[in-house]
């Protein structure tokens, strides 16, 4: 019996990452979920809930505790995941953190800057590097379908928010990361994509939900609604399916037309 294709989803215990893990499992992937929290942690049951949602639908998933900022641990993490589920065929770079606080651009502190870029950009780069090396060194279990790397950036890769500079800077590097890995891996048939979510209703946006809700009501988002984690998850699954076999290095906005320039 052929193993299901194996996908890694970083930052999968809640929000967008959880929705992606559940949707990929529904499309037949075995899912390795990584995040800081442990499923046994009763104070933060998100990972356990996501695992249950997958397993209750007869999907296969396992949680691997991981700190994306600890880049030296990435090769061992990828090997542990491969030992569990076979060669990695999909990587979804979802994990990321918000700016510790919103405020004046002139007040950003080096510690906050380093923390955010250390996860969102540096951590994502070296996780992608570790998985790319693994992919090049292994034979895919499903050779008829291209292997895929999808990185979630943000509309903040292009739209400036001066009250959270470190976050915007961390996301602005991910489009180039996507292009670089797309070029490096194209000859091996590994497709690399970027997804730019807009204003998505998640625990990360909960502290500013009232502010965003008001701005959406006033027309900030042309589709006139919040985005949902499932909106992003469906886009990821479409890219991971391998149906866009001659596309790589492309960016897809999932933002209700928020990022389209208007007069």
Query: Residue 68's closest CA among 39, 102, 106, 33?
Result: 33
Residues 6+ apart with CB under 8 A from 83: none
**Enclosing H/E stretch for 131:** helix 124-137
- Per DSSP, the three-state class of 69 is coil
Rounded Cα distance between 30 and 26, Å, is: 9
Residues 6+ apart with CB under 8 A from 222: 256, 257, 258, 260
Residues 6+ apart with CB under 8 A from 147: 88, 89, 90, 135, 140, 189, 190, 191
Question: Does residue 212 have an active-site annotation?
Answer: no
Chain length of the chain = 263
CB 29 within 8 Å of CB 114? no
Catalytic residue among 29, 167, 181, 226: 167
Helix axis angle for 124-137 and 174-185, nearest 10°, is 10
Rounded Cα distance between 23 and 90, Å, is: 13
| E-only strand ranges, 116-165 | 147-152
Active site residues: 167
């Amino acid at each position: 019996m052929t193993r299901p294709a194996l996908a890694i989803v970083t930052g999968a215990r809640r929000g967008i990452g959880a929705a992606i893990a559940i949707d990929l499992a529904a499309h037949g992937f075995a899912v390795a979920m990584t995040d800081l929290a442990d499923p046994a942690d009763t104070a933060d049951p998100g990972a356990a809930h996501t695992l249950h949602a997958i397993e209750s639908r007869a999907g296969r998933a396992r949680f691997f505790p991981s700190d994306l900022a600890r880049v030296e641990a990435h090769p061992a993490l990828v090997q542990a995941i491969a030992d569990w589920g076979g060669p990695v065929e999909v990587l979804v770079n979802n994990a990321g953190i918000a700016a510790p606080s919103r405020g004046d651009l002139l007040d950003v502190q080096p510690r906050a800057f380093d923390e955010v870029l250390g996860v969102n950009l540096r951590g994502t780069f070296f996780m992608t590097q570790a998985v790319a090396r693994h992919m090049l060194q292994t034979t895919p279990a499903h050779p008829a379908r291209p292997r895929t790397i999808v990185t979630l950036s943000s509309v903040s890769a292009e739209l400036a928010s001066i009250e959270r500079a470190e976050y915007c800077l961390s996301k602005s590097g991910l489009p180039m990361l996507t292009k670089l890995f797309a070029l490096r891996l194209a000859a091996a048939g590994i497709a690399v994509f970027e997804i730019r979510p807009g204003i998505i209703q998640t625990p990360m946006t909960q502290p500013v939900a009232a502010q965003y809700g008001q701005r959406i009501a006033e027309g900030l988002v042309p589709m006139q609604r919040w985005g949902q984690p499932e909106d992003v998850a469906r886009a990821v699954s479409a890219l991971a399916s391998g149906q866009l076999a001659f596309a790589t290095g492309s960016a897809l906005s999932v933002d209700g037309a928020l990022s389209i320039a208007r007069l």
